Amino acid sequence: MKNEIKVFCPATIANISCGFDVLGVALDNVGDEMVVKKTSKKGITITKIEGQNLPLQTHKNVAGVAGLALLSASDYEGGFEIEIYKKIKAGSGIGSSAASSTGAVCAMNKLLGEPFSNLELVQFAMKGEELASGVQHADNVAPAIYGGFTLVRSYSPLDIIKINTPKKLYATVIHPQIEIKTSDSRKILKTTISLADGIKQWGNVGGLIAGLYTEDYDLISRSLEDHIIEPIRSILIPAFDNVKSASLNAGALGCGISGSGPSIYALSKGKETAEKVAQAMQNIYNKVGIPYDIHVSTVNTEGIKTIS
Ligand code: HSE
């Protein structure tokens, strides 16, 4: 069995418009890397973080907290050292904390001979999400671990379903370089919804799942709507409405807030359209004057990948 492993930890788009806290998808072209080593010393030691200014103390780091949750459920008597190479910025809305917490637990599980199921790994990684946002949401960590699209059908008991990925689906993500903390963007949400909004939202969740399984791109397009969260959170994102209408005009199937923002995502059929959407998003943001990163990616159907 290996003593050291290097993994790719994918970025993820949570919510996918209609599925607040229940839907998510993993990306191929954006993600962190992490090196995890077995040590005879007990516990988790974070030895290096490159690319971001994040705490090295185990209890203050999402990878550390998720790793400790795994260790406490394991009969392994040693510990682990972790090096984190961050490419996903914290507060970006594309699952930065989820990449770190899932990378840690998946790498450790591999080094221990895979004693834990994906569902258990999600439960450990959710402890990292709790540290980052105050809430144990699973809609970023589930796709990072299972790959592809995932649905959290239930939180209690935890029930996660991996959903089919249509072959021609591409994601475009623009990440304006401002930070929105998930904890802050959750505080502004209402805690109740109207029956009328609920009816629209669960109609769209069902439609999106059916569209993903049947690879019906028109149905996917009709279902990428959010009547509950987007109207409130979009106020925090400069030029959101312009980016959305420019993306739809460029041919996107749908466009919305990625996770808790500020990143904005679009789904498209085919790479060519996804690249046109990227250009349309950039045209808007070049006028806004806020620096941004832009990504066009296929869906990562595998989740955390072993690099070496
Ligand atoms: N479902 C979470 C939220 C995702 O929207 O707050 C955070 O990335």
User: In angstroms, rounded to a whole number, what is the distance separating the alpha carbons of residues 58 and 66?
Assistant: 9
Q: What is the pLDDT of residue 303?
A: 97
Average pLDDT over the chain, rounded to an integer: 97
Ligand 1, atom 7, lies closest to the CA of: 259
Q: pLDDT category, 1, cuts 50, 70, 90?
A: confident
Ligand 1, atom 4, lies closest to the CA of: 259
CA of 290: how far to CAs of 238, 246, 261, 293, in Å?
9, 17, 15, 10
pLDDT digits (tens, 9 = 90+) for 68-122: 999 999 999 999 999 999 999 999 999 999 999 999 999 999 999 999 999 999 9
CA 3 to ligand 1 center in whole angstroms: 34
Ligand 1, atom 6, lies closest to the CA of: 260
Q: Which residues are catalytic?
A: 129, 182
Number of Cα atoms under 13 Å in the Cβ half of residue 304: 30
24: its two tokens: 């998510």
pLDDT digits (tens, 9 = 90+) for 181-203: 999 999 999 999 999 999 999 99
- Cβ distance 116 to 109 under 8 Å? yes
CA 93 to ligand 1 center in whole angstroms: 8
Q: What is the pLDDT of residue 260?
A: 97
pLDDT digits (tens, 9 = 90+) for 122-164: 999 999 999 999 999 999 999 999 999 999 999 999 999 999 9
Ligand 1, atom 1, lies closest to the CA of: 21
Q: What is the pLDDT of residue 190?
A: 95
How is residue 137 annotated by DSSP?
-
Query: Ligand 1 test: best mutation among 102, 136, 137, 183, most atoms within 8 Å of CB?
Result: 137
CA 21 to ligand 1 center in whole angstroms: 6
Minimum-distance ligand 1 atom for the alpha carbon of 186: 6
- Give 29's contacts (C-beta < 8 A, 6+ positions apart): 295, 296, 297, 298
Minimum-distance ligand 1 atom for the alpha carbon of 14: 4
Number of neighbours of residue 204 by Cβ within 10 angstroms? 22
26: its two tokens: 């993993």
CA of 264: how far to CAs of 14, 77, 108, 288, in Å?
11, 44, 32, 14
Model confidence at 36: pLDDT above 90: yes
Pocket of ligand 1 (CB under 6 A): 14-15, 20-21, 137, 139-140, 182, 186, 259-260
pLDDT digits (tens, 9 = 90+) for 38-70: 999 999 999 999 999 999 999 999 999 999 999
Q: What is the largest CA-CA distance in the chain?
A: 57
User: In angstroms, rounded to a whole number, what is the distance separating the alpha carbons of residues 81 and 249?
Assistant: 48
Share of the chain above pLDDT 70, in %: 100
Q: What is the pLDDT of residue 209?
A: 98
The dihedrals phi and psi of 219, each to the nearest 5 degrees, come to -65, -40
CA 131 to ligand 1 center in whole angstroms: 14
- Cβ distance 303 to 105 under 8 Å? no
Q: What is the pLDDT of residue 110?
A: 98
CA 99 to ligand 1 center in whole angstroms: 14
42 residue type, one letter:
K
Query: Ligand 1 test: best mutation among 131, 180, 186, 233, most atoms within 8 Å of CB?
Result: 186
CATH fold of 169-298 reads Alpha-Beta Plaits (3.30.70)
Q: What is the pLDDT of residue 227?
A: 93
Q: Which of 301, 308, 305, 304 shows the shortest CA–CA distance to 148?
A: 301
CA 61 to ligand 1 center in whole angstroms: 19
Q: Give the neighbor-by-neighbor strand order of the sheet with 254-257.
A: 254-257, 264-269, 169-176, 292-298
Q: pLDDT category, 295, cuts 50, 70, 90?
A: very high
- Cβ distance 137 to 292 under 8 Å? no
Query: Ligand 1 test: best mutation among 18, 133, 189, 236, most atoms within 8 Å of CB?
Result: 133
User: In angstroms, rounded to a whole number, what is the distance separating the alpha carbons of residues 268 and 129?
Assistant: 29
Minimum-distance ligand 1 atom for the alpha carbon of 260: 5
| Domain limits, the chain | 4-163+301-306, 169-298
- Cβ distance 23 to 150 under 8 Å? yes
For the domain spanning 4-163+301-306, the CATH number is 3.30.230.10
